[in-house]
């Protein structure tokens, strides 16, 4: 019997080495790898000579907005940006408007994403004073923002943090947190105050508070967007597989605050960009020390006119879905990140943390979520993004990797700048854990 698709003679990574193989896809799953000339008969074939066949990236930290903030981004533009960026699964944060604190809002998001999706979409929920347990089957984790709580009047003292850790553990979910121990009363009036309030000390203190609150060994903590060298050291001291995991963004690895002297919000995000020393240490933590489990975009779209306002007035957050793969694979092609670390941090690591079955690895029986990548020099241009947010601090940056074709569940969704199917056809919503 014919298989559905064969990707012919692409470059696959086996034991950190590039090898030419064909990959067969059948009924949405990977059917097997074949040497040249040994491929099974297929209904369709794609010539992959010169292209890398890689697992689609899993981006476990994105803000796709939608609902009351659809002017910033919606599930259609957000998941188009993901597909064009070689990302086949995204997990959406709960700090939307309205925030995800009830089953009702979660259902609104699921309904919207189901009809607008171009890739797989999973969800996180926040923790209201009375946690809505009916959300549990359809979420992949709980997320808290100690510096900016989703519910008014909540103070992230040790008791509140302890309750959140216990709650997540009870439902066998990871507790994700934005490490920042500043409070909402601390309102910066200048750029300098912004950096002082959201300092590395604040990040480290927040991580320490969550570590102190984690009494049960098996409770799982996930540290969002680590940005400081000191934080990576504290993570290393407490590292325990599966129960303390951490992520880093490309912007914190590749950029530092001093690179942006103009007074606008183009490079304003939380946590802020740090010193060159911090970014170097993040790269080391990712590659040499294994203190970091995954790379995430923290795609946080805002209206373009908001980002060009003076720094202190501009909202925090930058788009990242269309820059993560090119930026990270450039490091691989230039020898600074190994293939093994790329596959671990962008694909299998997030799948492991989220507990999502059959994703993140190209192997027989796993989901055919795949990106074909060409090694090609090009320059990042926000104007070309599918995201509504087109202002990026990576504008004009030279990169060496271009996603050419994106396959979700065995269906080609994106190819050379074109979408091959309409919204709501490929991918699953919501992605559930095992």
Interacting residues with Zn ion (CB under 5 A): 178, 224, 298
The footprint of ligand DOR on this chain (CB under 6 A) covers a number of residues equal to: 8
By the rule CB under 6 A, 234 interacts with ligand DOR: no
Query: From the CB of 405, what's the least distance to ligand DOR, in Å?
Result: 30
Measured from the CB atom, the residue of 21 and 65 that comes closer to ligand DOR is 65
CA distance 101 to 139: 11
Is 4 a known active-site residue? no
Least separation in angstroms between residue 303's CB and ligand DOR is 12
Q: Which is nearer to ligand DOR, 69 or 208 (CB)?
A: 69
Q: Does 409 bind ligand DOR (CB under 6 A)?
A: no
DSSP codes joined into one string, 277-309:
HHHHHHHHHHHTS----EE---B----HHHHTS
DSSP conformation class of 428: -
Asked whether position 109 contacts ligand DOR by CB under 6 A, the answer is: no
Minimum CB separation of residue 129 from Zn ion in Å reads: 21
Which of 5, 300, 321, 325 is in the footprint of ligand DOR by CB under 6 A? 300
| Listed residue (63, 128, 51) closest to 405, CA to CA | 51
Residue matched to tokens 């369709």: 44
DSSP result, 62-74:
E---BTTBTTT--
Q: What is the footprint of ligand DOR within residues 49-108 (CB under 6 A)?
A: 63, 95
Q: What is the DSSP string of 150-173?
A: SSTT----HHHHHHHHHHHHHTT-
CA distances from 91 to 152, 165, 262, 297, 362 (A): 24, 20, 33, 11, 20
Residue 205 near ligand DOR by CB under 6 A: no
Residue 126: how many CB atoms within 10 A of its CB? Answer: 24
Catalytic residue among 26, 138, 180, 298: 298
Contact between 200 and ligand DOR by CB under 6 A: the answer reads: no
- Interaction between residue 206 and ligand DOR (CB under 6 A): no
Query: What is d(CA 275, CA 170) in angstroms, rounded to the nearest whole number?
Result: 39
Pairwise CA distance, residues 366 & 309, whole Å: 46
User: Cβ distance 214 to 158 under 8 Å?
Assistant: no
Using the rule CB under 6 A, which residue among 61, 143, 178, 198 binds ligand DOR?
178
Query: How far is residue 144's CA from residue 174's CA, in Å, rounded to a whole number?
Result: 11
Measured from the CB atom, is 216 or 263 closer to ligand DOR? 263
Minimal distance in Å, beta carbon 159 to ligand DOR? Answer: 23
95 binding partner (options ligand DOR, Zn ion, none; Cβ < 5 to 8 Å by kind): ligand DOR
Q: Is 143 in the site for ligand DOR (CB under 6 A)?
A: no
Q: CB of 224: closest distance to Zn ion in angstroms?
A: 5
Cβ burial, residue 425 (10 Å; 0-12/13-18/19+): middle
Provide CB contacts within 8 A for 228, sequence distance 6+: 200, 203, 204, 271, 274, 278
Nearest CA to 173 out of 103, 213, 246, 222 is that of: 222
CB neighbour list of residue 41: distance below 8 Å, 6 or more residues apart: 2, 3
Closer by beta carbon to ligand DOR, 114 or else 316: 316
Which of 270, 351, 372, 412 is the binder for ligand DOR (CB under 6 A)? 270
Question: Closest separation between CB of residue 63 and Zn ion, Å?
Answer: 6
CA–CA dist 326, 328 (Å, integer): 6
Q: Which does 399 bind (CB under 5 to 8 A by kind): Zn ion, ligand DOR, none?
A: none
Closer of 116 and 147 to ligand DOR (Cβ)? 147
223 is a contact residue toward ligand DOR (CB under 6 A): no
Minimum distance, C-beta of residue 15 to Zn ion, in the bound complex (Å): 34
User: Is residue 252 within the footprint of ligand DOR (CB under 6 A)?
Assistant: no
Which position among 126, 317, 409, 427 is part of the footprint of ligand DOR (CB under 6 A)? 317
Looking from the CA of 225 toward its CB, the CA atoms found within 13 Å total 26
Laid out side by side, the sheet with 142-144 consists of 142-144, 175-177, 221-223, 244-248, 294-295
Burial class of 153 by CB neighbour count within 10 A (0 to 12, 13 to 18, 19+): exposed
- Nearer to ligand DOR by Cβ, of 80 and 270: the residue is 270
For the bound state, the minimum distance from the C-beta of residue 11 to ligand DOR, rounded and expressed in Å, comes to 35
Point out the residue whose Cβ comes nearest to ligand DOR. Answer: 317
202 scored as a contact of ligand DOR (CB under 6 A): no
Q: Residue 317's binding partner, choosing from ligand DOR, Zn ion, none, with beta-carbon cut-off 5 to 8 A by kind?
A: ligand DOR
Q: Determine, following the binding rule CB under 6 A, whether residue 269 of this chain makes contact with ligand DOR.
A: yes
- Tell me which residues touch ligand DOR (CB under 6 A): 63, 95, 178, 269-270, 300, 316-317
Kindly list the catalytic residues.
Answer: 298
């Amino acid at each position: 019997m014919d298989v559905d698709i064969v990707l012919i003679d692409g470059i696959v990574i086996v034991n950190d080495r590039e090898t030419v193989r064909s990959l067969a896809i059948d009924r949405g799953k990977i059917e097997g790898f074949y040497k040249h000339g040994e491929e099974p008969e297929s209904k369709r074939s794609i010539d992959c000579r010169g292209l890398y066949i890689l697992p689609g990236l899993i981006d476990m930290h994105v803000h796709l907005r939608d609902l009351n903030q659809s002017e910033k981004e919606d599930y259609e533009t957000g998941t188009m940006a993901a597909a064009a960026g070689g990302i086949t699964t995204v997990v959406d944060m709960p700090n939307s408007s309205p925030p995800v604190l009830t089953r009702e809002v979660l259902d609104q998001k699921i309904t919207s994403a189901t009809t607008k999706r171009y890739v797989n979409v999973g969800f996180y929920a926040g923790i209201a004073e009375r946690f809505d347990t009916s959300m549990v089957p359809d979420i992949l984790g709980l997320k808290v923002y100690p510096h900016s709580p989703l519910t008014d009047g909540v103070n992230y003292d040790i008791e509140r943090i302890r309750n959140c850790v216990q709650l997540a553990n009870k439902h066998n979910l990871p507790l994700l947190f934005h490490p920042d121990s500043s409070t909402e009363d601390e309102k910066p009036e200048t750029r300098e105050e912004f950096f002082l309030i959201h300092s590395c000390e604040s990040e480290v203190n927040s991580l320490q508070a969550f570590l102190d609150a984690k009494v049960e060994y098996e409770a799982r903590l996930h540290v969002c967007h680590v940005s400081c060298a000191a934080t990576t050291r504290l993570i290393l001291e407490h590292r325990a597989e599966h129960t303390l995991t951490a992520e880093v963004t490309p912007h914190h690895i590749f950029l530092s605050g001093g690179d942006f002297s103009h007074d606008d919000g183009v490079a304003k995000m939380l946590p802020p960009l740090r010193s060159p020393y911090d970014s170097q240490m993040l790269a080391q933590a990712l590659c040499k020390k294994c203190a970091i489990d995954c790379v995430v975009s923290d795609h946080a779209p805002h209206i373009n006119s908001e980002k060009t306002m003076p720094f202190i007035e501009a909202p925090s957050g930058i788009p990242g879905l269309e820059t993560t793969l090119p930026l990270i694979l450039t490091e691989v092609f230039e020898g600074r990140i190994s293939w093994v670390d790329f596959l671990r941090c962008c694909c299998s690591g997030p799948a492991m943390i989220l507990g999502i079955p059959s994703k993140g690895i190209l192997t027989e029986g796993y989901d055919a979520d795949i990106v074909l990548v060409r090694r090609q020099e090009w320059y990042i241009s926000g104007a070309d993004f599918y995201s509504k947010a087109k202002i990026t601090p990576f504008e004009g940056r030279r990169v060496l990797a271009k996603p050419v074709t994106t396959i979700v569940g065995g269906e080609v969704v994106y190819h050379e700048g074109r979408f091959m199917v309409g919204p709501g056809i490929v991918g699953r919503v919501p992605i559930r854990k095992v």
